[in-house]
Amino acid sequence: MAHHKSAKKRILQTAVKTERNRYYRTRLKNIVKAVHSAVEAKDTAAAQEAFKTANRQIHSLVSKGFIKKTTAARKVSRLHKLVNSVEAA
């Protein structure tokens, strides 16, 4: 157990950050999963709509500082490529 005031504060801050990051991590997984499930169903319209939502939400996670800009660009690029593969097929 922490004995100093600053150490106690750090413990509280870490707990808050951990909870927030857990929420964002789950949200990111669900965003990507929604696009993948629309693609697996071969539903072009749903895939495009899910991609538009995913693109917006992934970039909002960048603005919050949860993921880096390059990570978001990579994820969006891969999702876009996946959605385009449904349209081509």
CATH number, position 78: 1.20.58.110
In sequence order, which residues have a C-beta less than 8 Å from that of residue 27 and are 6 or more positions away? 57, 61
pLDDT value for 20: 96
Q: CA-to-CA distance for 62 and 68, rounded, in angstroms?
A: 6
pLDDT value for 40: 95
The parent domain of residue 61 ranges over 5-88
Q: CA-to-CA distance for 83 and 35, rounded, in angstroms?
A: 8
pTM for this model (two decimals): 0.84
pLDDT value for 88: 77
| Helices 69-88 and 5-40: angle between axes, nearest 10 degrees | 10
Q: How many domains does the chain have?
A: 1
Q: CA-to-CA distance for 63 and 5, rounded, in angstroms?
A: 31
pLDDT beneath 70, residues of the chain: 89
